[in-house]
Amino acid sequence: MRYKIYTKTEKAWDVMLEALERAKSLILFEMYIFVDDTSDTHDFIEILSRKASSGVSVKVILDSFGSQSLSSASVQKLRDSGVELFFFKTLFRTTHRKTLIIDGNTAFIGGINVRKFFKKWDDLLIKVEGRIVDRVLRSFARIYKRCGGKDREVLKYDDEGEVHLEKGKIWFFEHYPPRNSSKLKKYYKDKIKFARKKILIITPYLMPNHWVVKSLKKAAKRGVKIEIIMPRFATNPKLANIPNYLYMHKLNKYGIQFFLTPEMNHSKVMIVDDEEGILGSQNMDILSFNFNMESGVFFSDQGLIEEINQIAENWKNNSIIYSPDMRKVKLFDYFLTFCFGTFEHAIDFFNSVTKPF
């Protein structure tokens, strides 16, 4: 299986547009945030419309909350050209996934959204080719069907069952709370629990579940070296800086080291013992584990591990290390901790009474 990693949002957009230009028969596009303010340099609306007009089958699924700023003019242009466009809407649930599939043989997976504000961000996108793309197709077909899609050429990939994780050096995962939310939790929990030497985490947001905090503390206490790369200042949303610094302060006490990048870093990665890792759309927060629909790849490919480690080293070399004097403990922190815990329990309850998607 072939793959390639991209580390900048702008470069990722470049290769996505190049792939769209080459598409001959099928384009499947799923995005959390998709806004039409990138047209001066990266005109996704124009190319998707042009491809649909030329006879390529184009299916687009956008999250109704994340993509609410997409203009009605662009929506109309897409639909008038023949693009089958859906806005994913369901009670208190979002599709946080970011995937692009071209002609059934190439897929892009990761954390990349489309909005001008994100153009210069550090982020991670993986382009994959080979048998893994069939799994991504099946996952897209499942959401497409539930959005009301009727095209049999897409629906033929939906088998109404789980998208089985065909383990190899790189394999696809999907996350549909509450249907299979325990799988992502189990992966993180087991990998952290059985880590022997080192855990590397890259995340833009840190509002972890209670079990994540507990697992990381235990790993640190038994001598596992834990490094977490985060932006010094999260720029979207800025409100995320409150839980980010709160949990940095809490976890730093146990020897967990935080590297704070000067630029916004939107990547989502964990590598354990330089043996296995995960890269996708999921953040290290309650929403990703318990609420959002997510997707990505698990991997044990040593070449990919080495490449991501080198990317991480470059980011670390340009970072500052968090120290407790960056933030004073406040009485309000105890209230925030209580609120986050209550929020986690509320979502757990919501999942317990909600029908699977």
pLDDT for 110-132, tens place per residue? 999 999 999 999 999 999 999 99
Q: Does 72 have pLDDT greater than 80?
A: yes
Answer positive or negative: Cα dihedral of 336, 267, 23, 135: negative
Same domain, 197 and 243: yes
CATH of the domain at 211: 3.30.870.10
Same domain, 126 and 99: yes
pLDDT digits (tens, 9 = 90+) for 282-320: 999 999 999 899 999 999 999 999 999 999 999 999 999
Same domain, 325 and 192: yes
Would residue 171 count as lying in a domain? no
> pLDDT category, 60, cuts 50, 70, 90?
very high
Q: Does 268 have pLDDT greater than 80?
A: yes
pLDDT digits (tens, 9 = 90+) for 221-251: 999 999 999 999 999 889 899 899 999 999 9
Same domain, 264 and 126: no
Tokens read off for 275: 């043996």
Residues 6 or more apart whose Cβ sits within 8 Å of residue 43: none
Residue in 91, 170, 186, 98 with CA at minimum distance from that of residue 139: 98
In the chain, the percentage of residues whose pLDDT exceeds 90 is 82
Q: Does 162 have pLDDT greater than 50?
A: no
> pLDDT category, 181, cuts 50, 70, 90?
low
How does strand 57-63 pair with strand 84-88? parallel
pLDDT digits (tens, 9 = 90+) for 24-55: 999 999 999 999 999 999 999 999 999 999 99
Q: Does 165 have pLDDT greater than 60?
A: no
Domain span holding position 204: 181-348
199 bridge partner residues: 226, 272
Tell me what pLDDT residue 348 has: 84
* Residue 119: exposure state from Cβ atoms within 10 A (0-12, 13-18, ≥19): middle
What is the rounded CA–CA span in Å between residue 326 and residue 349? 36
Q: Does 271 have pLDDT greater than 60?
A: yes
Would residue 115 count as lying in a domain? yes
Would residue 353 count as lying in a domain? no
